[in-house]
Amino acid sequence: MREVEEAGKAVLRVVAAAIGLIGSVILLIVSIVISGKHALLSTTVPQSHGFIGFMAFVVGLVGALTTLFKPRAGALLMLVAAAGFIYVAGFGAILASPLLALAALIAYLDRPKTAAR
């Protein structure tokens, strides 16, 4: 019975990692599109938005990969990436942030249970 439970947890971790990877890639694409739009239109948006968007991608990617081994740490990293991307993209974050938040929720629910004291 315990082996079946462990296999189920492994599947959930892989699902959370896959959703997190998809969310991270979408995050990168949206960040590039937004930065390109601002560059073409010569708007006065701070150049740091492109850097922050890329860092949100890196944090989301690391969080998705970390989920396979440490689900709580991966969930936290993906939530940080989702929140950081809301700052960068505003309404454009509606594409990537929910995916990262869903992956973080799945990873958090899959965390190992600690023994009651």
Span 56-106, pLDDT tens digits: 999 999 999 999 989 899 999 999 999 988 888 888 788 888 999 999 998
For the residues 16-44, what does the mean pLDDT come to? 86
pLDDT greater at residue 117 or residue 99: 99
What's the Rg (C-alpha) of the chain?
16
pLDDT at 88: 81
Structural domain spans, the chain = 17-109
pTM summary value: 0.83
Say which range, 10-14, 38-42, 43-47, has the weakest mean pLDDT: 43-47
Q: Is the model's pLDDT at 112 over the cut of 80?
A: no
